[in-house]
Copies of this chain bind each other. A is one copy, B any other.
């Protein structure tokens, strides 16, 4: 019996289009005699739909499209579609009004509805906000479409339902364990429909966990993940199939749509060879691919074909331009050079070299005319004060204004170029270089920015070598260097990793060997920059703890001491 995974890339809220996509892939699978097709979690509305779920019409529309899909699919194929359903007991029982569900569609009908049991509510996840957890173990019997085959009992789980194996995690994450319940009920296969956001190394962790579960319960697992990017979240795909020994039988593409078809027999064979298709193993390649998909999908889903990047000759904007070029094609990327009197010669020569390496378009617009205008306008107020942060920011905001003017005039998506280290300590100008529709590397620490650029240059020079080798500078005053006001990036990134990602306190970070004064300064900068981060564009998430929808910090507050 053939079972398949459709690794789809839905657009959030575009129910009609997503439904069409499901119909198309189902027809393709049916042509290949697939008996059961899996699609990702909430494949009908895309994940995460967030507060669109508060609109009753949105929910009704899914119900209608579900029936539409059921009526279109060929008769010998059954499909599992991720959708949202209503909880009719919500008012009388004091429960949440919706379920995160899977619909089994077959022979023109919605045959079964299964509800997600474990609802992630941490980091970027808000499922308790909308959904009531299902309270039943989910399975169904699938009749064979070929002679001589037996009926299969399929255990159905949705994403988080598989993330609670205490023998894997060393602790329980939820009070119940759906996979254990299913295993007890004697099923032949577990399917898992997921929308598991990307972070570095997560798909390897996921695969270990899935392999562990398959092995522990001696049951094959088919894992169907969403692919594509939505705002700050990137979904890496990497759908995967395990036999009952925990060996990988099939693997879908990383960062791209895919259709993977397997034979059930492969899953119970004890001799299956481990197959890996298109696995991306190198972290730099993985991150680069993720960011490319992030830019590509944000642009496409927002209706942009062209992107704009301010090029300073520095490493951050160079990397962003390289990502944009890969995502949208070099012809669709415009680099704008905006030198000031404080800009070094190499800021221009390095940016020009980058433009040539990438083959993107560019313009040079010096900003001294505007700087002089602001000097003149502000003279009555600023006379007698010293050059300082205000004047530095003016330059950055002039550039921000120019970039937005070009974006507004010609319909470009402006990409902002701040890295995670800068976002953390507020080393960037709000309404200036922080401007943009998408913050491409906002979750990439500066040290990792260097790694990525070196990796990009592995075969030929993409990022000019001088860009990588020169000391980082904002060039907002003569002779300025990042390290004049910040600790060296190796130290800064290490401290930030401890505070931001590991939730260590100042005392704990100092105890692990950092200078107290440096840690105190970083902590203070981090807390003070919260108002900037609140107004930053969505930043593509590549770590377990990003400054995005999963970072929920008060501003008018006192932080840890």
Contacts and interface: CB of A to CB of B under 8 A. Distances in A.
Contact of A50 (B377, B431, B553, B558): B553
A92 interface: yes
Given A538-B534, A558-B11, A431 B406 contact: no
A141 interface: no
Interface string A354-370: 00000000010111011
As for how many copies of this chain the complex holds, the number is 2
A176 B484 CA distance: 58
A308 to B, nearest CB: 11
A93 interface: yes
A554 B48 contact: yes
B554 A49 contact: yes
A556 B231 contact: yes
Contacts of A390: 405-406, 408-409
A537 B534 contact: yes
A55 B559 CA distance: 10
Nearest to A126: B552
A191 B372 CA distance: 63
Nearest to A376: B369
Nearest to A12: B557
Given A129-B122, A404-B393, A297 B12 contact: no
Interface size grouping (class) on chain A: 35 or more
Interface string A316-347: 00000000000000000000000000000000
Contacts of A366: 377
Contact of A378 (B48, B122, B365, B535): B365
Nearest to A545: B54
Interface in A168-185: 171-176
A556 B12 contact: yes
Contacts of A394: 401, 405
A56 B95 CA distance: 31
A437 interface: yes
Given A13-B558, A51-B552, A560-B55, A175 B370 contact: no
Interface of A: 11-14, 17, 46, 48-52, 54-58, 61, 91-95, 121-122, 126, 128-129, 164, 166, 171-176, 229-231, 297-298, 301-302, 363, 365-367, 369-370, 372-374, 376-378, 380-382, 385, 388-391, 393-394, 397-398, 400-402, 404-406, 408-409, 430-431, 435, 437, 503-505, 507-508, 531, 534-538, 549, 551-560
